[in-house]
Structure 1
């Protein structure tokens, strides 16, 4: 352990818990609402693992969006970690008809409203400009289900979502520092207790708390692997995945062949990760913090860490 680690982490820990306390007081109790749940958004990556360890004794639940296009080892890591801590896990999947396979095969259709029955996504694998559609279908709607499970009366209850977003993750995340760590959207209060933490702080936290578990997927691939939509994949990434997780790469390559044979998209867009450095990225969501840094890294000719 380095000199000063304990003092620095003690200060950061106290500040992070104070953020949660203020959010509960100002965004829930002050308006006469009740806390329906305090939920750690746990992807299985390094930041979310630190967040989960930091708040495991205060949270009522953890939540994981099972995107259906990710590495099962990460999903199992999340399940095992929560079980070991006695932390109830809510795992949600995309709705039938809006799975990743449905999207890339052009089979995702509007279910209700004036556009019912129309195709929402033309098919083919996404590039950076199409990332937000993937986020909405694979993650955002999963969180809506989590909220609906916990908030039975939106007029009286609000749920706290703890996210591992940090301002120094990327240039696109820096504006978060000016907005602050708390944001309310309807009956959901988003709290980012690690907003002011740096990568060095995360490393120091692990030195101080040596019981923080590690996800082997993150160690091998430098990403959690819970979502492999491919929107921000870098050149050669599928080969890297194949080296460590050949069954996952085989699944993606089989889907590539299926998309190509379907004729729903131009041949170029029938290849997973085709859009590396070819498009400007669309906006990302609160659960896609790493996507911004991955895009910036690949845009500069490197690989995302």
Structure 2
């Protein structure tokens, strides 16, 4: 068993009401992880936000809702304690995920800030976005489809800039005398990167990033979903909102095991576009068309999800809202599940799991 799997596994067989913890101490944790029941983990989550609200002059608490499994839990948990929900519509994602967020937030009776980037993904890929600052003024911000080295540019332009703009709209020029809290769903148990870098509270000027479920284990997440999601043998309401307080379910996460709200492709796996296309061809059509445009324009990096030639494989920060962008494991296992359950045929499984070299042969 690897150290990573050992760290993330439950302490023992988990049943409702049992305690669980992360085995090793995350580098940015204040203390050694405690074994907590789900109710104790929830109480600690509330205490994290209470501590921030007591320490800083906060004018707005905003839940960040990507449509993914972890973000829906944190927003469901705090839906009565936030002022609004924010969703970044990157323009590259699966439309069903954005619609899921709209419908759920409306059902909760909360305001929704649906944010969009100033510049489109297509303009970034085609090199039509020019820098307006510093020594690089007038130069292309990026050109071609991004690999890992381009992820920071895509994250900053597609996600972070809209959120920074919202923060500016809320506080104006009041700076540190007024603060905005963004609640996110990062957890130490998600990935190695999150284990190393996530923390309960991360202050960035007048913006305070809070991860109130950072200490939750996978077992806590499973128990919370079992407790609040409708599992009755009946025809479910849309998004599985079968009663007012039910935990919603995004169909996209069932099919793809990710929210799909951003398909920049920087950390894409081989065959990922084919997988997405199987369920959501309308979402991949613009990306296929953009590939053709990039190829016609003679761009070197003209293929979505493929590391540009000469780009070194490195470990770069994935960004606060990109928990699943790097280090996703078990994709072939997921495809095998689809094959066994009849979602895909054996031929489709073979197509999805071929490497680029095998496809070209």
Task: Tell me, yes or no, whether TM beats 0.5.
Answer: yes
Cα distance in 1 between the residues matched to 2:135 and 2:266? 29
CA distance in 1, matches of 2:16, 2:253: 27
After superposition, give the CA deviation of every residue in 1:266-301 in whole Å (9 maximum; x if it has no partner): 1xx21111129972232121111111332xx38x98
From 286, 290, 301, give the equivalent of 2:324: 290
Q: Which residue of the other structure, out of 204, 208, 211, is the alignment partner of 1:192?
A: 211
Which residue number in structure 2 is paired with residue 270 of structure 1?
302
Q: 1:3 and 1:67 mapped to 2: Cα distance?
A: 38
Q: Distance in 2 between matches of 1:39 and 1:86?
A: 14
Of 193, 196, 203 in structure 1, the residue corresponding to residue 222 of structure 2 is: 203
**Matches of 1:272 and 1:302, distance apart in 2:** 23
Aligned partners of 1:73, 1:278: CA distance in 2, in Å? 34
**Quick one: distance in 2 between partners of 1:245 and 1:301?**
19
For each residue in 1:239-277, what CA deviation from the matched residue of structure 2 results, as whole angstroms up to 9, or x when unmatched?
Answer: 1111100111221101100111112x21xx211111299
Instruction: Tell me if the contact between 1:92 and 1:145 (Cα under 8 Å) persists in the aligned partners.
Output: no
- Spell out the pairing of 1:1-305 with structure 2 (5 A cutoff): 2-4=15-17, 8-26=37-55, 28=56, 34-95=57-118, 98-121=119-142, 123-152=143-172, 153-176=174-197, 180-210=199-229, 211-263=246-298, 265-266=299-300, 269-275=301-307, 279-294=313-328, 297=329
Q: Partners of 2:146 and 2:42 in 1: how far apart?
A: 38
In 2, Cα distance between equivalents of 1:84 and 1:145: 26
**Using the alignment, how far apart are the partners of 2:121 and 2:333 within structure 1?**
27
**Structure 2 length-normalised TM:** 0.75
Please say if residues 61 and 87 of structure 1, whose CA atoms lie closer than 8 Å, have aligned partners that are also in contact. yes
Scaled by the length of structure 1, the TM-score of the pair is 0.88
CA distance in 1, matches of 2:52, 2:255: 36
**Secondary structure of the residue that 2:326 maps to in structure 1?**
helix
| Alpha-carbon distance between aligned partners in 1 of 2:97 and 2:40, rounded to the nearest angstrom | 30
Q: Over aligned residues, Cα RMSD in angstroms?
A: 2.4
Deviation digits for residues 92-146 of structure 1 (CA, Å, limit 9, x no counterpart)? 1111xx321111101110134453322111x111111211111000001011011
Paired residues, number: 288
**Structure 2 unaligned regions, length at least 5:** 1-13, 20-35, 230-245, 338-361
Instruction: State how far apart, in whole Å, the 2-side matches of 1:250 and 1:80 are.
Output: 24
Name stretches of at least 5 consecutive residues in structure 1 with no aligned partner: 29-33
